[in-house]
Structure 1
Amino acid sequence: MLDVQYVSIFIACSPSKVYQFASNPENLPRWAAGLTSTELSQDGDVWIAQAPFGRVKIRFAAQNPFGVMDHDVELESGMVVNNPMRVVSNGDGSELVFTLFRRETMSDQEYAADIAAVEADLQTLKHILEVS
């Protein structure tokens, strides 16, 4: 069993607005620096990005009415990292929840850095959506 950390953030926008923006792979460079800060290219249903840790292939869940934004990230080594992500209603806004699994090869410091990167990305997303 892998360790898991749930990283969540309240965003003062409707779940549909959060979903529409965050589920669009073309918006990732604007808010997901932990994954990519460069433009992505598309090859069929796979998006290719230059991540801080190397070239990655990203596969996203199909558009859906449930706020599910799961995505798998395939590292250069061929390892696939599953990233469950959801947006749900929370009062007058939304709660975005990212499930971060600790890979077996991660040190405590690497896992802490991964958690911090996800938290920073979600803060950026919150800022973009609440300011616009």
Structure 2
Amino acid sequence: MTTSETGTRHIGIHIDRSADEVYAYASDPSHLPEWAAGLSSSVEEGSDGRWTADSPMGRVVVDFAPRNDFGVLDHHVTLPTGETVHNPVRVIADGTGCEVVFTLRRRPGMSAEEFRRDADAVSADLTTLKRLTERT
């Protein structure tokens, strides 16, 4: 995990599965409650292709990048306050496995402790993703 002076952390984890397999699983929004507790405990697809999730922050709307061949899992989360947060996520091939990297940005007004808690939640979510996708 690295931190820049601007309040950005790149949180990554190595997963012993191919990038294609991990991307296929993680890019399916219906799987979010299984591995991304920091974002959702339940999720449902709306008629407009947007997903609504019950999160620790309340009900949020999640818009995902279209499926692609580049391992881009970016998504926008619109919080109950109306604020939208862009979350860059990449699945990067690494030999027979892959690295999943989540870029966490500190939002204006966010305390250092809140930012640390967000980073811990992202790290826990990536650990869960690793556990689920490495199952044989």
TM-score above 0.5, yes or no:
yes
Q: Distance in 2 between matches of 1:36 and 1:62?
A: 20
Q: Report what 2:67 is aligned to.
A: 63
Runs of 4+ with deviation above 6 angstroms: none
Q: Report what 1:80 is aligned to.
A: 84
User: In the TM superposition, what whole-angstrom CA distance separates every residue of 1:38-89 from its partner, at most 9, and x where no partner exists?
Assistant: 2323231210011011110000000101000100000011100000000011
Normalising by structure 1, report the TM-score: 0.96
Of 95, 117, 127, which aligns to 2:131?
127
Q: Report what 2:56 is aligned to.
A: 52
**Identical-residue share of aligned pairs (%):** 45
- Aligned residue pair count: 132
Point out where structure 1 has 5 or more consecutive residues left out of the alignment: none
Pairing of 1:19-30 with structure 2 (within 5 A): 19-30=23-34
Normalising by structure 2, report the TM-score: 0.93
Say what the alpha-carbon RMSD is for the aligned residues. Answer: 1.2
Point out where structure 2 has 5 or more consecutive residues left out of the alignment: none
Q: Report what 1:34 is aligned to.
A: 38
Of 63, 87, 94, which aligns to 1:90?
94
